Amino acid sequence: MPKIHVAENPTHLCSTTLADVVRRIQSILWLEDLGAERSFWDVNKEWNSDTVSDIADVLTSEGLQPKLVDAIGPFDFRVTMHYQDAEGNVATTHQGGSGTFSAMTEPDAIECAQDAWADPRVEAFGFVPVFEVHRVLKGKNHAAE
């Protein structure tokens, strides 16, 4: 049976634990620790691969890493798409699309949406499609990985 990674839903954590996770991630991203109580917040702090690793460690410590599960699909994926340019400006002349696709994986659902909604005329002007995908389970949306 094929396997897929599914992101853990953090709603099982209490608000105190969620607040602690956010505080720890904020510290990783923006707290400069110079020791001897000389820490300060720096919104321009440089990030590197250790930053990502440290954030992953925080999420893993709370059981929030994606888990490998048996794929019992196909699954329904709710996909929305819009076009944007290189600066992140959304194309106002083309609405994109929104719908549900049956697929085994998130990339398969994106491919279905691309086939259904792609507009080469918009892409010729430098706009690229941006997708948001959520797996639909029993009337609920779950982020799919």
Query: Mind listing the pLDDT tens digit for each residue in 46-64?
Result: 999 999 999 999 999 988 8
b/e for 15-35, b at 16 or more Cβ within 10 A? eeeeeebeebeeebeeeeeee
pLDDT at residue 33, rounded to an integer = 82
pTM of the complete model: 0.46
The maximal CA–CA distance of the chain, rounded, in angstroms, is: 59
- Measured from the Cβ of residue 113, the count of other Cβ atoms closer than 10 Å reads 24
The secondary structure element, H or E, covering residue 113 is helix 106-117
43 vs 32: CA distance, rounded Å: 10
φ, ψ of residue 45 in degrees (nearest 5):
-60, 135
